[in-house]
Amino acid sequence: MNKEKFVGIIPARYASTRFPGKPLASIGGKLMIQRVYEQASKVLDLVYVATDDQRIYDAVVGFGGKAIMTSDKHKSGTDRICEAYEKSGCNREVVVNIQGDEPFIMPSQISTVCDLFDSPDTQIATLVKPFSANDSIADLENPNSPKVVIDGANNAVYFSRSVIPYLRGVEKSEWLKRHTFFKHIGLYAYKAEVLKQVTKMPQSTNEICESLEQLRWIDNGLKIKVGQTETQTIGIDTPEDMAKAEEFLKSIEK
């Protein structure tokens, strides 16, 4: 992996609807945003936090990280990282978008996404994790855990909050035993010129229906290359998730 080809950008905003101030929440005595930054820095030699909040900016600078102030008008993290990339002036070929609420993102997962750019044809890359036969149907049907269908060339065909594909003629209790379903992991990387392109695209009908931004890219003919991981991490969506995060931290520190 040629590290000089990649820059990592972590979008982080304070005004989350479900968890205000989430990037500054403490997990095991360390800020969430610091944990994400440190995990990304184990793989990438250039990482920025892109934020619209002075408190987050000051916290990142305070632990020795790099931060870039961005507009508070952005509707998505993708728009925020595009502005940060342009302000950074780094001119690296690929921009890796690391979610600010994934404090346990693994270096191997970032490497897997970056390795997909060994092919010069890769425009956008992301990550999935197979559901296991031990997962529950409730896990599979959870609309907050988008599913992905992948073609034979490892490109994403469609993302959905519904279960896809539907197994006709099979009892739902048998679905996870009879088919491999893929859970989307919200880690992306883009060729820099493609990142600039997607931020200028209007919302598509499928994107509006599912509230999944990546459908806009597919609807506009872009290819999303998919890598797989078997590693389970925990994203933080609500304050209630913090207890699970603390338990997960204890389990990986043993």
Domain membership of residue 239 (yes or no) is yes
Tell me which of 62 and 252 has the higher pLDDT.
Answer: 62
pLDDT(249) > 90: no
Q: Work out the average pLDDT over 157-170.
A: 98
Q: Residue 233 and residue 145: Cα distance in Å, rounded?
A: 13
- Main-chain dihedrals φ then ψ at residue 182, nearest 5 degrees: -115, 130
pLDDT tens, residue by residue, 199-216: 999 999 999 999 999 999
Q: At what angle do helices 107-115 and 32-41 cross, to 10 degrees?
A: 50
Domain membership of residue 185 (yes or no) is yes
Domain membership of residue 124 (yes or no) is yes
- Report the pLDDT value the prediction gives residue 192, as an integer from 0 to 100: 98
- Report the pLDDT value the prediction gives residue 247, as an integer from 0 to 100: 86
- Report the pLDDT value the prediction gives residue 254, as an integer from 0 to 100: 66
- Report the pLDDT value the prediction gives residue 167, as an integer from 0 to 100: 98
CATH number, domain of 39, equals 3.90.550.10
User: Per the structure, how many domains does the chain have?
Assistant: 1
pLDDT tens, residue by residue, 24-78: 999 999 999 999 999 999 999 999 999 999 999 999 999 999 999 999 998 888 9
Domain membership of residue 77 (yes or no) is yes
Domain membership of residue 150 (yes or no) is yes
Please give the model's pTM, rounded to 2 decimal places.
0.93
Q: Give me the chain's average pLDDT, please.
A: 94
pLDDT(233) > 80: no
Any idea how long the chain is? 254
Domain membership of residue 249 (yes or no) is no
Domain membership of residue 251 (yes or no) is no
Q: Work out the average pLDDT over 85-95.
A: 97
CA geometry: angle 217, 200, 112, nearest 5 deg? 45
- Report the pLDDT value the prediction gives residue 240, as an integer from 0 to 100: 84
Q: Work out the average pLDDT over 130-158.
A: 95
Residue type, 150: I
Q: Residue 114 and residue 58: Cα distance in Å, rounded?
A: 29
pLDDT(246) > 90: no
- Report the pLDDT value the prediction gives residue 231, as an integer from 0 to 100: 87
Tell me which of 47 and 17 has the higher pLDDT.
Answer: 47
Say how many C-beta atoms besides its own lie within 10 A of residue 204's C-beta: 16
- The residue among 181, 189, 198 whose CA lies nearest residue 92 is 189
Domain membership of residue 160 as a residue range? 3-244
pLDDT tens, residue by residue, 164-180: 999 999 999 999 999 99
Q: Residue 219 and residue 117: Cα distance in Å, rounded?
A: 22
Domain membership of residue 250 (yes or no) is no
